[in-house]
């Protein structure tokens, strides 16, 4: 005979719709991938936490690869959306400030998702690596820099490279800040923009390496 607890568990499983079950499995998968990464997570663990059998997981996603792909895609869409929505200020510095704040807000409010993305997405995600995500965000920022470069007499063709550098700086700082959580998000953003903006405001039109120049004059 089944125990009372087992009957109640089966009853709860029956009351959950297919959509609800799918979302439950995604939530559990997200937790496990954040804790252990893709390779450290198994279908058995997902099923156990959900209180279902492994075939239920396979039925919805075909395995952990399917769960992982959806989780990574959702996180990337959320982050890209937050950064895109932040670029609303009417001047370049304000847009960069908002973008830095948006990325740090994502780290703070979606720490599990950021841990998953920052691990460098597994090939099973089908959506590329953390580096490709940074590239996608940089693409949204580079037109801001291009306009600023034109106004200051710099080569706007270099804007994509600078955008990659700026976004990469914020993202890597976000990885560090994810663990320490100090100072506050606004303080971190202010210091990042201070470094980036004040560096940009004093750009040399045609920078060169002093060591290379010195060698040339010595020849």
**87 within 8 A of 99, measured Cβ to Cβ:** yes
Q: How confident is the model at residue 125 (pLDDT cuts 50, 70, 90)?
A: low
Model confidence pLDDT, tens digit, residues 140-162: 889 888 988 888 888 999 999 99
Q: How many CB atoms lie within 10 A of CB 168?
A: 15
Measure the CA–CA gap between 54 and 34, rounded to whole angstroms.
Answer: 21
**160 within 8 A of 138, measured Cβ to Cβ:** yes
pLDDT surpasses 90 at 10: no
**78 within 8 A of 106, measured Cβ to Cβ:** yes
Predicted local distance difference test score (pLDDT) of residue 1: 47
- If you count DSSP H runs as helices and E runs as strands, how many of each does the chain have, helices first? 11, 0
If you ran DSSP here, which 8-state letter would residue 39 be given?
A: T
Predicted local distance difference test score (pLDDT) of residue 140: 87
What average pLDDT does this structure show over 70-91? 91
- pTM (two decimals): 0.79
Predicted local distance difference test score (pLDDT) of residue 122: 56
What average pLDDT does this structure show over 49-70? 95
Q: How confident is the model at residue 219 (pLDDT cuts 50, 70, 90)?
A: low
Work out whether the CA dihedral 63, 64, 67, 70 comes out positive or negative: negative
Predicted local distance difference test score (pLDDT) of residue 120: 57
Measure the CA–CA gap between 112 and 30, rounded to whole angstroms.
Answer: 7
Backbone angles phi, psi at 38, to 5 degrees: -65, -50
Model confidence pLDDT, tens digit, residues 19-42: 999 999 999 999 999 999 999 999
């Amino acid at each position: 005979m089944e125990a009372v607890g087992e009957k109640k568990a089966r009853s709860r499983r029956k009351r959950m719709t297919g959509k609800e079950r799918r979302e439950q499995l995604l939530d559990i998968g997200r937790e496990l991938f954040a804790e252990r990464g893709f390779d450290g997570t198994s279908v058995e663990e997902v099923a156990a936490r959900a209180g279902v059998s492994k075939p239920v997981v396979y039925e919805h996603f075909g395995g952990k690869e399917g769960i992982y792909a959806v989780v990574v895609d959702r996180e990337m869409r959320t982050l890209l959306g937050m950064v895109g929505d932040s670029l609303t200020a009417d001047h370049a510095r304000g847009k960069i400030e908002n973008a830095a704040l948006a990325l740090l807000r994502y780290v703070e409010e979606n720490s599990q998702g950021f841990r998953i993305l920052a691990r460098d997405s597994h090939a099973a995600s089908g959506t590329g690596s953390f580096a490709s995500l940074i590239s996608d965000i940089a693409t949204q920022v580079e037109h801001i820099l291009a306009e600023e470069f034109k106004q200051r007499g710099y080569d706007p063709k270099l804007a994509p490279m600078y955008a990659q550098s700026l976004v990469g700086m914020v993202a890597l700082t976000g990885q560090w800040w994810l663990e320490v959580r100090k100072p506050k998000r606004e303080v971190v953003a202010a210091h990042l923009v201070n470094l980036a903006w004040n560096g940009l405001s004093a750009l040399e039109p045609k920078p060169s390496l002093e060591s290379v120049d010195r060698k040339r004059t010595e020849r």
